[in-house]
Amino acid sequence: MKITLDQTGKRFNYDWIFRRVSATFEQGGRYAILGPNGSGKSTLLQVISGHLHQNEGTVTYSTPEELLSHDQFFRHCAIAAPYLELVEEFTLAESLQFHLQFKNLIPDITPADAVAIVGLEKSMHKQVRNFSSGMKQRLKLALTIFSDVPVLLLDEPCTNLDAAGIRLYQQLITDYSGDRMIIVSSNDEQEYFMCPNHIRIQDYK
């Protein structure tokens, strides 16, 4: 999988969030989008994911076999972000069943395994509305990292996690990311510890 941005920019009304971003994201690469709060990191990640459309330039998705449309790309990525909400009325078990309608889990990981690894096995039949913010974030990370897709997109992945949760996140990345592309939007080094490649959003203002 390869994602290519060519002179890509995004604005809201007349205000440019970023302009002229040119970057290539390769299979197996680890990339961090860095910048202060409110600088546009999340917006760039949403443009990369296809959730937002750019106002200038292009975003191209490709595999060795074909070019992918924006509508096809969602099948190849999983994203965890504060602005993407879980279905509060679902139980944890129902959340997993719903997710599995769209994404399979990585080989050798069952739904029960995924839940146990993130420490939520006792909450299988509890509604998500009754989860703490940290439990919700663990569920988001499980649904993302255990999805069998070549691209993981992580926006402030340690949001609402305590020290134990941060260690869990780092262990999940270490143990289960494999040769997948990972793009992290963050200003916290604990979240992008695995990323040698940095894009500084302030360079594109």
Cβ-contact 176, 9 below 8 angstroms = no
Residue with tokens 């202060």: 36
Does residue 4 carry a pLDDT above 90?
A: yes
Average pLDDT on 85-93 reads 97
CB contact set of 203 (below 8 Å; sequence gap of 6+) = none
In whole angstroms, give the CA distance from residue 180 to residue 184.
13
**Domain spans in the chain, listed from the N-terminal domain onward:** 2-204
pLDDT of residue 71: 87
d(CA 98, CA 112): 15
2-204: what CATH class? Answer: alpha beta
Q: Estimate to the nearest angstrom the gap between the alpha carbon of 97 and the chain centroid.
A: 20
Q: What is the pLDDT of residues 30-86, one digit of tens each?
A: 999 999 999 999 999 999 999 999 999 999 999 989 999 988 999 999 999 999 999
Residue 15 scores a pLDDT above 90: yes
**Helices (H), ranges, the chain:** 41-49, 70-73, 92-99, 111-117, 133-145, 163-176
Tokens in use for 79? 């994203």
pLDDT of residue 50: 94
Average pLDDT over residues 84-105: 97
**Nearest of 66, 28, 60, 35 to residue 47 by alpha carbon:** 60
Q: What is the pTM of this model?
A: 0.96
115-144 pLDDT tens trace: 999 999 999 999 999 999 999 999 999 999
- d(C-alpha 27, C-alpha 180), whole Å: 6
Q: State the average pLDDT for the chain.
A: 97
Across the range 175-181, mean pLDDT stands at: 97
